[in-house]
Chain A
């Protein structure tokens, strides 16, 4: 049973374009939804996170949109750059210091 489903598996975007990655979750008890960025050979690094009491959070070129009723959330990368090429993981967690549940990841390639 996959608690967090992520799509697409891979994504190719032109430089300057918008990258959109989607995730859906099953458990309504989740109340923290982070996105992680991972470069080859490195550990995941937190990019941006949201709680279900807000519908959108923006940090620079990165925006999370959250739809609580649909149990979906998405990452938008505006003005995508080649340096954004990496694997992106959505995740979810219950409150407190509970472990993260990850999606399977999206490999983003931004081409010039």
Chain B
């Protein structure tokens, strides 16, 4: 059973370009979470999605950032017109659809560098 897969592992973008980060949850998981980690900082929640629905996007900047989790395929975090401050590690986590407290499994992250 493969874990949470994120790609690419490293992404370099020039200022003003678009960055697309992909996350394939663990098999059978229908809940996906995106977190951002700055150097020497903890993980900051960005957005929580279920299949075809955004459940909570309270941690995601209103401009330039968007996320989706289509019925088929991976979840995508899109950052338009990237700026230097977007440089960070972006982690995706997934959890199963059962109720109650369930463990969230993290991917290896995508390290975005904006030059």
Give chain A's interface residues, CB within 8 Å of chain B. 6, 31-32, 34, 36, 41-46, 49, 51, 89, 93, 95-105
Contact = CB atoms under 8 A, between A and B. Distances in A.
B28 interface: no
A44 B92 CA distance: 10
A51 B103 CA distance: 12
Given A42-B108, A43-B106, A97 B95 contact: yes
A100 B100 contact: no
B3 to A, nearest CB: 9
Interface of B: 4, 6, 31, 33, 35, 40-45, 48, 56, 59, 91, 93, 95, 97, 99-109
Contact of B91 (A34, A43, A98): A43
Contacts of A46: 103-105
Given A43-B91, A45-B106, A103 B101 contact: no
A99 B102 CA distance: 11
Contact of A95 (B44, B59, B91, B100): B100
A7 to B, nearest CB: 13
Contact of A89 (B43, B56, B59, B105): B43
Contacts of A99: 33, 45, 48, 56, 59
A31 B60 CA distance: 24
Contact of A32 (B33, B93, B101): B101
Given A97-B31, A97-B95, A99-B48, A44 B100 contact: no
Contacts of B100: 95-96
B109 A103 contact: no
Contacts of A36: 106
A43 B109 contact: yes
A103 B42 contact: yes
B98 to A, nearest CB: 9
A42 B110 CA distance: 10
